[in-house]
Amino acid sequence: MSIFSPSEVSRGLTVPMSCTLEYMHCPFCHNADTKVLDSRADEDGVAIRRRRECMRCHRRFTTMESCELTVVKRDGHTERFDRNKVIVGVGKACQSRPITQDQLKELGRKVEEELRASGQAQIPSAEVGKVILKPLRDLDLVAYMRFASVYRDFKDLSDFEAAIEELRQYEKDKNTTLTAGADTATADASDPAAAGKETGKELGKEAA
């Protein structure tokens, strides 16, 4: 997502108003007049990386822009959302489970993405826990149960039983959806044999 190409900059075209209005000091000479050369989303998609040039010293630098996400604790106290806290918290529930650090990082990324997509700047901590549960369920059912028992404050065995029943239903629904998808794909395809093979491959991938 480039606002204008570097060649346009070198030809000295006027900087769009939206860029000149952004107030960002040059880190070298502290001049407030900087222009944006290029804007792109960072790899996580949660921040915008902007390449800027100072209009006084002409040195270039990069800024990262993202909305500050705040978590509201149960006691009303607020703190900045920290993806690493999610990763550490979920990591505790994943102890001795076959889950890699990369999978945990990916879960943290998904959670932050979903929270940001909600469009809220302030998010109750209970909401963060709720958003964690879904990707964790797909990752590891035992870790999910451990995390849910703390987050949902399980009191006794009946709470565990209810959660296990939910999980059984979820697994059943998931399998039904996969099977239904396979039937449709085969019926619609002009070459049923080839389509069946293709679908089988996809199913194997999802199950892995």
Rounded-to-integer distance, Cα 136 and Cα 118, Å: 19
**Residue in the block written with tokens 């949902």:** 152
CB of 85 to Zn ion, least distance (A): 36
26/128 with CB nearer Zn ion? 26
26/71 with CB nearer Zn ion? 26
What is the footprint of Zn ion within residues 55-114 (CB under 5 A)? 56-57
Rounded-to-integer distance, Cα 1 and Cα 18, Å: 15
Among 15, 54, 115, 132, binds Zn ion (CB under 5 A): 54
61/160 with CB nearer Zn ion? 61
25/197 with CB nearer Zn ion? 25
What is the footprint of Zn ion within residues 2-31 (CB under 5 A)? 26, 28-29, 31
User: Residue 205 in 3-state DSSP?
Assistant: helix
Token pair listed for 86? 């999610």
Is residue 143 within 8 A of residue 94, CB to CB? The reply is: yes
Token pair listed for 46? 């949660």
Binding site for Zn ion (CB under 5 A): 26, 28-29, 31, 54, 56-57
